Chain A
């Protein structure tokens, strides 16, 4: 069955450094992948969408890569700030064109 893996342990990063989060998927090949941010007690907020024919996508301090050979997406935040502290969810597309398969998320903590 389709499986999404994100680092279950919290990632602690010093302010100003680049944070890199990993999303691995197995047993299928999604055509696209979305990344979301979730703060405690709130619903997820969309960050980026990347398609299988795109190797890299950027938005301000955010960068996402999509390696269909490694079956992996990397999510980078450059010049990290304490306000970037949150849980980041990876969601590759499912079998249908409307479904997302959600990872459990990685908690990112940016220390001043």
Chain B
């Protein structure tokens, strides 16, 4: 079946512009994660959605970052007024449930470059 998809695969934007990154999780997966990966660094947790529960936004680095998940499926991560330090690969993952019991399935990522 189809895996997790993300779009765009690459995004180059000018500093100060807003960007939207999209994630289509695996159908039926109730859990959805957004991570950020910088070169040589571990994955940085950004936000977690689980079903209809309030998302855990504790990893969002600033109020310029926001995310939503519509209809328990597609998710969009929005970065407003982008800065050069936002340049990274943004990864989305979905899962059947909590990490203690289930694996995470990752998309290919969106490489964001802020010039």
Question: Which of B98, B105, B107 meets A46, CB within 8 Å?
Answer: B105
| One of B31, B93, B100 near A32 (C-beta < 8 A) | B100
State the CA gap A42–B9 with chains docked (Å): 11
Q: Can you list, as one digit per residue, whether each of A5-26 has a CB less than 8 Å from chain B (1) or not (0)?
A: 0001000000000000000000
A96 neighbours in B (Cβ, 8 Å)? 56
Asked whether any CB of chain B lies closer than 8 Å to the CB of A86, the reply is: no
Q: How far is the CA of A96 from the CA of B109 in the complex (A)?
A: 24
Interface flags for B71-105 (1: CB within 8 Å of A; 0: not) read 00000000000000000000101000011100111
Interface-central residue, A8, A49, A51, A99, by most chain B CB under 10 Å: A99
Chain B residues packing against A (C-beta within 8 Å): 4, 31, 35, 40-45, 48, 50, 56, 91, 93, 98-100, 103-109
Chain B residues within 8 Å of A42, by CB: 108-109
Min CB–CB distance A105 → chain B (angstroms): 7
How many inter-chain residue pairs (CB < 8 Å) link A and B? 67
Binding site for B on A (CB under 8 A): 4, 8, 31-32, 34, 41-46, 49, 51, 89, 91, 93-94, 96-105
Contact A104 B99 (CB under 8 A): no
Instruction: With A89-B43, A93-B99, A97-B100 given, name 20 new contacts (CB 8 A).
Output: A32-B100, A34-B99, A34-B104, A42-B108, A43-B93, A43-B106, A43-B107, A44-B106, A46-B103, A46-B105, A98-B31, A98-B56, A98-B99, A98-B100, A99-B56, A100-B43, A101-B42, A102-B35, A102-B45, A104-B41
Complexed CA–CA distance, A104 and B37 (Å): 9
CB distance from A22 to the nearest CB of B (A): 15
